[in-house]
Amino acid sequence: MRESLRSKIIQVCDEKIAKKGETVGVSFYAFFANRNDDPDALFEAATWWIKVHELDHFEKAVKIREMIRSGQ
C-alpha cells in the first residue's frame, strides 16, 4: 500500500479515536471523501481490507491503525 494512503489511514484512525474513544469502529470508506475523487486509492484500500486481510465491514480503529503501523 502506498505510503500516502498509510499515513491517511493512521491520521483518520487517530482523529476518530481521539473524538470517540478506543472502541470506535471504522470501515475503509472512512478514509475517503463522500465523492469518489480517488478511485485508485479507494480500490487499494478495499483490496487491502477485503481481499488481503478479510476484515469485517467495521473494525476497531485501534486495530486498523496498529496493522498499518506494523506494515501489514
Q: Which residues contact 10 (CB under 8 A, 6 or more apart)?
A: 65, 68, 69
pLDDT 10s digit of each residue in the chain, 72 long? 999 999 999 999 999 999 999 999 999 999 998 777 889 999 999 999 999 999 999 999 999 999 999 999
What pLDDT, on a 0 to 100 scale, did the predictor assign at position 28? 92
Please give the pLDDT value at position 35. Answer: 73
Gap between the Cα atoms of 56 and 26, Å rounded = 10
> Kindly report the CA angle at 40 between 59 and 33, in degrees rounded to 5?
60
